[in-house]
Amino acid sequence: MGRSPFNGRLWEGFGPDPYLHGVASFLTVKSAQDEGVVTCSKHYLAYEQETYRKPFHVDDVALFPPNPISSDLDDKTAHELYIWPFAEAVRAGSGTVMCSYNEINATHACASDPALNTLLKKELGFQGAVVSDWGGTWDTQNSALFGLDVSMPGTGFAGRYGNFFGAELVALVENGTIPEKRLDDMVLRTLAPILELQNVKTWPRPTFNQSDLTVPTNNVRRDHYKIIRQIAQEAITLVKNDRTGGRGLPLAAPADMASLAVIGQDAGPAPFGMTACGSGGNNCLAGGNNGTVTMAGGSGFAYPPYTIDPLAAINAYVAADGPDINQHLENYNLTAAALQASVSEAAIVFLSAFASEGYDRANLTTYPNGDALVQAVAAVNKNTIVVLHVPGAVIVEDWIDHPNVTAVLVAHLPGQESGSSLVPVLWGEVSPSGKLPYTFAKSVSDWPPNGIVFDAVPAPQANFTEKLLLDYKWFDAKNITPRFEFGLGLSYTTFSFGKLSLQKSFKADSTSVQPTAEPFVKLASDSGKSMYDVLYTASVSIKNTGKVAGAEVAQLYVSFPAAEDQPPRVLRGFDKLSLKPGQQGTATFELTRKDVSVWDVSAQKWRVPKGSFTISVGASSRDLRSEVVHAFA
């Protein structure tokens, strides 16, 4: 989910908001399985740090505590935050769910009866298999009885990762400790997704072990570059743009520019090749310059077939009639960087940060030497533009208010089409339309304390005392002004919002591939049977009031009645409209029963609270343009 911005695997998820995360989980699972690929939704549950995850059974207690980190959280927080995205994955039909390395309230996640049997399999109605993370099994008997169906990697690696299941499982079934019907259940849950999807598609021959260049490969990419480029481009987020005196973005046409500086190691190619450092540290930032950062590290890393770095794309774009490109692809020689910037009409500084599975981020700075590099360039160039390739939030306070830093683009981790996705945005062929899926703070201390636990104790514990207040909800509840708020994303054009409308419009759930069994308290005269029945539809008109085409992502936020223990506002919808100058469209949001419910711990059911709700719509979590007050119960 992203409880802490320091989380090394934050980049693998969809952001710290459960609604946003849930929508992305649903669409990812459904689209993959529609193509005949069984999905594995992970990591269940509350896996929020790499430090002390202890996946392997290594007896060196000087380096590892005897138990992994325990994520200690209450029932309400679990339901309304951490289970929410998994509920969406389940109702999308996910074939498997992976249990995580951590403990949940002092019980191993892969042997937690409440988490696996009660919540996942009974309450959510999950019918697929629960598979352990690699080495996440700690025993056979409890894990099998309490919900684990597949242990990975079994007895591999000489049992170093846990010599569980296998022969031990057979023996426990034979002596009656584990009922035979439980074994049948494990087999059924494992085979059912495969049998369900086996006739969906005829698959091409797969390539095994992409990192071994001696293994024959099968090129199945076709025109995948198009969607890769589109995703990267639509994710680019403009968070600052000062157009005073013709500065900022978009840049002038290449024929109208005499010179442009391209600064920073993140702008260029990998001097030692993209695979030089392996998947664990693929950008080599710890050891030196390995060029532009396109993705982060760990098991989620994939070797790209090629990479179009920003400098290559810029050179290709301006080649016919463009400006001189004054490049400096190194971050420590500030004198040389400043020299190139001082003789250029504009300067683009590329900064990066890195994250990876296996460890949490040590800081939230751009490196190496990123802050000093921007300051050196901005001191001599009045149109300094910064592009960030980052796995999450970074601190930008050392330079963000510098009068010569005119524009900032957060390009995130764009993948192999990095440069080709960026160039049309720089020159205004495409207006940026991305929105931040997390908050940029002004200081590390602005986030909740104790996000990553480093206590070297036998049984480390992470107490989720912030409860529901993740990311923007924490900033809102504590009246902390962020640097860039959740949902922020500027454009080269402007948009006006009309008056928000809310209409009762019951529609039975028709989207769930696998209906969940989530319990809820029915409303009066309620004939619905699902948490995902649509109760109301909200809509708002949006007009492009600027001079260029653009896209706006309208966001719907819900504030619950004051009597409920809830954050000030929560995201409950978003709709993207592409509009030409002067064109008007309507953004529409369907509010389901779950969208306006809270988890009632006493009743152990979802409940629509009585009282007044405030429904707001706007361009970000802090730029709300219209609202409606309404009572749903």
Q: What is the pLDDT at residue 19?
A: 99
Q: What is the dihedral of CA 135, 452, 371, 266, to 10 degrees?
A: 20
CB 468 within 8 A of CB 3: no
Burial tier of 580 (Cβ tally within 10 Å: 0-12, 13-18, 19+): exposed
Closest to 454 measured CA to CA, from 520, 530, 359, 371: 359
Q: Which residue positions in the chain have pLDDT lower than 70?
A: 55-66, 156-162, 201, 209-211, 213, 273-289
The whole-angstrom separation of Cα 266 and Cα 461 is: 37
Beta-bridge mates of residue 104? 71, 107
Q: Mention every residue, 6+ apart, whose C-beta is less than 8 A from residue 92.
A: 25, 26, 27, 28, 29, 30, 33, 512, 513, 514
Q: What is the pLDDT at residue 158?
A: 60
The whole-angstrom separation of Cα 37 and Cα 40 is: 10
The whole-angstrom separation of Cα 262 and Cα 329 is: 8
Fold of 226-434: Rossmann fold (3.40.50)
Q: What is the pLDDT at residue 162?
A: 65
Pick the CATH number of 10-197 from 3.20.20.300, 3.90.700.10, 3.30.70.270, 3.10.580.10: 3.20.20.300
The whole-angstrom separation of Cα 61 and Cα 49 is: 19
Count how many residues are written for the chain.
633
Domain ranges of the chain: 10-197, 226-434, 493-630
Q: At what angle do helices 310-318 and 418-426 cross, to 10 degrees?
A: 50
Tokens of 174: 């034979």
Cα 460–chain centre separation: 26
Q: What is the pLDDT at residue 60?
A: 46
For 247, 315, 386, 474, 533, the CA distances from 318, given in Å and listed in that order, are 19, 5, 19, 45, 52
Q: What is the pLDDT at residue 156?
A: 60
446 catalytic per annotation = no
CB 567 within 8 A of CB 605: no
Task: Give all strands (DSSP E) within 402-549, no chain letters.
Answer: 405-410, 461-463, 495-497, 501-507, 534-544
Which of 17, 133, 149, 266 is the catalytic position?
Answer: 133
DSSP state of 470: -
The whole-angstrom separation of Cα 138 and Cα 153 is: 12
CATH of domain 493-630: 2.60.40.10
Kindly report the pTM of this predicted structure.
0.95
Q: What is the pLDDT at residue 524?
A: 84
CB 522 within 8 A of CB 528: yes
